[in-house]
Amino acid sequence: MRTLTVFNNVSLDGYFTGVNDDISWTYQPNRDPEFEAFTTENAKTGGELVFGRKTYQMMASFWPTPMAFNQDPVMAEHINKLSKTVFSRTLLEASWENTRLIKGNLLEEIKKMKEEPGKDMVILGSGSLVSQLSQARLIDRYQFVINPVVLGGGRTMFDGMIEKLQLKLMDTRIFNNGKMVLTYGVD
């Protein structure tokens, strides 16, 4: 059975996007080679990327571009080669390399995908997916990059959750840039 992991940046006050879906705060000017190596290695362990429409469109507008290959050639090459699935009722096509578009029922489709043979799956961004899949207990692991910034407003990835979700800490890692990665499993 394939596992489903969430990998998202979070501010100290619990937001994964700022006001107007701003994520610029996740990119700090003080480069940390250890953190960059971690994110590159972490990305290489992922199998299939899973997105909602907003995150898919944002990622597809950047990673296949010359700018992405110039800024981060290793990550750009890797992320473009990965299999990707986007869930959307409104998107007409998914033209980014190795992407399939699913318009069906999110919960049913994820259950099917988890039963299929293949590599594990990773959700990036996609707060509405995270919330729905968390509520349905279909996410196996959460990796949060805690950023040393307070936004004062934005969106949490758990908006709309009705029932409490109890998690179990599996791992922590602290970096010189002030970021901390917390990995949780479902209790």
Is residue 75 over pLDDT 80?
yes
pLDDT in tens, 128-186: 999 999 999 999 999 999 999 999 999 999 998 999 999 999 999 999 999 999 999 99
pLDDT band at 108 (very low <50, low <70, confident <90, very high): very high
The C-alpha atoms of residue 135 and residue 139 are separated, in whole angstroms, by 9
pLDDT in tens, 34-68: 988 888 777 777 689 999 999 999 999 999 999 99
Burial, 161: exposed, middle or buried (Cβ in 10 Å; 0-12, 13-18, 19+)?
A: middle
Go through the domains of the chain in sequence order and give each one's CATH number: 4-186 (3.40.430.10)
E strand intervals along the chain: 4-11, 48-52, 83-87, 99-102, 121-124, 141-147, 167-174, 180-186
